[in-house]
């Protein structure tokens, strides 16, 4: 069985790195169904700026809530 799997795998296929997978995810986060576009944009911005931490997400979500209340 393993031989069959290995024979069907070609070396031309590439395996994405973790960073590439995350880049792809965050590039399309705003297009995910049922995701608030403002929150998606916020998270994408934090990721793009290399500032995606739990503290930054909490602070920015609080800022969005405050803005929406006014």
User: For the chain, how far is it from start to end, CA to CA, in angstroms?
Assistant: 63
Look up the pTM and report it. 0.73
Q: What is the reported pLDDT for 29?
A: 94
pLDDT in tens, 17-51: 999 999 999 999 999 999 999 999 999 999 999 99
Kindly list the distances between the CA atom of residue 44 and the CA atoms of 25, 39, 50, 54, 57, in Å, as whole numbers in the listed order.
9, 8, 10, 14, 11
């Amino acid at each position: 069985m393993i031989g069959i799997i290995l024979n069907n795998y070609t070396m031309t296929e590439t395996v994405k790195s973790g960073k590439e997978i995350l880049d792809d995810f965050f590039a399309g986060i705003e297009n995910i169904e049922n995701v608030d576009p403002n929150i998606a944009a916020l998270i994408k911005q934090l990721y793009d700026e290399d500032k995606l931490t739990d503290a930054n997400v909490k602070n920015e979500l609080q800022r969005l809530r405050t803005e929406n209340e006014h």
